[in-house]
Amino acid sequence: MRDSADRLVPDEYDRVRIDQLIPASADVDLLRALAETGDIPRVAKVLRMSQPAVRRQLIRLERRTAVQLTDAVDEHMRLTEAGQTLLSAGLRFQAALMDAVRVVDGVSRPHPHRQSVVRMATMGRDWDEFVDDMAVLLRDVLFHVVSATPADGSDLFERHCVDVVYGWQSPRRGGRLGRNNTVYDVLSEPLWVSLPADHRYAGHREVPLADLSEDRWIVRADENSRRLLEEVCMSYDFAPTIGHVVRSFSSARSLLGHGEGIALVSPLTALPAAGSRFVVRPLRESPMRTHRLVVDPAVVSARLAAVLCDQLRESYRRKAVRRNPSLLSTVEFWDEPDRQALTAVGTSAATLTSWVAERVPSDRCLEPEDLRLLHVIDTTGSINRAAPMLMITQPALTRKVSRLERRLGVTLLRRGHRGTALTPQARRILVVAAEAEAEFRASLRKMGAHTRLRPAIRSAVAVAPVPPG
């Protein structure tokens, strides 16, 4: 049975070439820069182009796909849902072309000294030890870690600034992200409460949440923190009274020390020193929040995600031992894998990451037009017959093939009395690329279901040439 997404796409879509919809590497770079910066001048600086050239390239891409890829919001540019989906699909296609280069090289990585880069947003600030551990465990993977609230981390993920987000979610809410993602539950921790030192429950070993209905709360200035507080309190039949909204942990601790309210906190919060003017206590009801790892599966494989989850749990344990040893008996660690099995995964970037975040050097890149060229030559069996189909002259096509062979360092065509045929290396490239094209088609179906990209699909049906035979 075909799924609902397939029914939204014309059947004839499966019979047309989608060359015009597959973005070239320059187009992927443009969309990614727009997602990361949201500003034409900064995009021009990142890509080392003039601003008019950036605008012209964007216009050409939108005309070719027949869909609006960007919106202007408050003097900034952001990708539309269709633009984000096209970027995600383009990144995966580009990754597959990198695999094709690796196949041609006969090695497992696009460059013998190039390391994979995993860009990650995490809550909190103390991640040096985690990064050090990952450097020992995965010697071929570099981690670029930035601190962000759960909401900011999700925004960075949507804009393709990071490919991994680690943060917490409230019990009743699940994250809804437009970008393709896979979510892993890491652990669930009980929430504690911070109270002024002169609070009526400051001397108790645990605090009943239901008895805090009349207190004024201090909350972080982000939607997730406010939502978490409201959900926890509403579970015990009262709405919290917000006394202060703050932007930093230091501001919250200062207000607590001055007796200006109470606050929900992580049990890993740095405990106040003896004689401080506030205390931290567990809640009797033990409301929980879940820590989750969100990854783009096109960037982070399931095996690498399992390693990350395991190390995040280990990092949590170490912090708990140092800061709050009694906590560990109340934390629920989810789906812990066999550590021996994880060790057997291996530490090479090729086995752990789906693709290398760094681009293949420009002189080794494969472009969609290169694949089109090889397809047409393979179909026609002749340079002379392929040239008109590609709308260039025979000498120009010969030069293009020669340049491509020099770039890749392999022979792609074999000429004989029966015509021109692809070499085994060229066929291996097309096999890898065919899998990527199938995934790109699947992505377009999702775009047809969830965005306004159907005009682009109809455009492809209307103008794309019908494949020979």
Confidence check: pLDDT of 236 > 80: yes
**Which amino acid, one-letter code, is at 198?**
D
Q: What is the pLDDT of residues 399-414, one digit of tens each?
A: 999 888 888 878 888 8
Per-residue pLDDT, 293: 93
Q: What is the pLDDT of residues 77-111, one digit of tens each?
A: 888 888 887 887 888 788 777 767 766 665 444 44
Packing angle between helix 51-65 and helix 40-47, nearest 10 degrees?
100
Q: What is the pLDDT of residues 420-446, one digit of tens each?
A: 888 888 888 888 888 788 878 777 676
What is the domain partition of the chain in residue ranges?
4-108+359-463, 116-189+289-352, 192-286
Sign, Cα dihedral of 315, 316, 320, 326:
negative
Question: What is the percentage of the chain residues whose pLDDT exceeds 90?
Answer: 16
Per-residue pLDDT, 174: 54
User: Do the domains spanning 4-108+359-463 and 116-189+289-352 agree at the CATH topology level?
Assistant: no
**CATH topology assigned to domain 4-108+359-463:** Arc Repressor Mutant, subunit A (1.10.10)
278 neighbors 196 (Cβ within 8 angstroms): yes
Tokens of 170: 């409230």
- The whole-angstrom separation of Cα 123 and Cα 253 is 18
Which DSSP category does 9 fall into? S
168 neighbors 147 (Cβ within 8 angstroms): no
Which superfamily does CATH assign the domain made up of 192-286 to?
Answer: Periplasmic binding protein-like II (3.40.190.10)
Of 174 and 300, more confident:
300
* 116-189+289-352 carries CATH number 3.40.190.10: yes
User: Counting every residue, how long is the chain?
Assistant: 469
Helix residue ranges per DSSP H, 71-148: 81-105, 128-137
CB atoms within 10 A of CB 159: 19
70 neighbors 402 (Cβ within 8 angstroms): no
Q: Is 11 exposed, middle or buried (0-12, 13-18, 19+ CB in 10 A)?
A: exposed
Confidence check: pLDDT of 314 > 60: yes
293 neighbors 308 (Cβ within 8 angstroms): yes
Q: How many CA atoms lie within 13 A of 427 on its CB side?
A: 7
Where are the strands (E) in 274-359, listed by range? 278-282, 288-295, 332-333
**Which amino acid, one-letter code, is at 88?**
S
Return left, alpha or beta for 34; rule: phi > 0 is left, psi -120 to 50 is alpha, else beta: alpha
User: How does DSSP assign 150-196, residue by residue?
Assistant: HHHHHHHHHTTS-SEEEEEE-TT-----SS--EEEEEEEEE-EEEEE
User: Maximum Cα–Cα distance for the chain, whole Å?
Assistant: 96
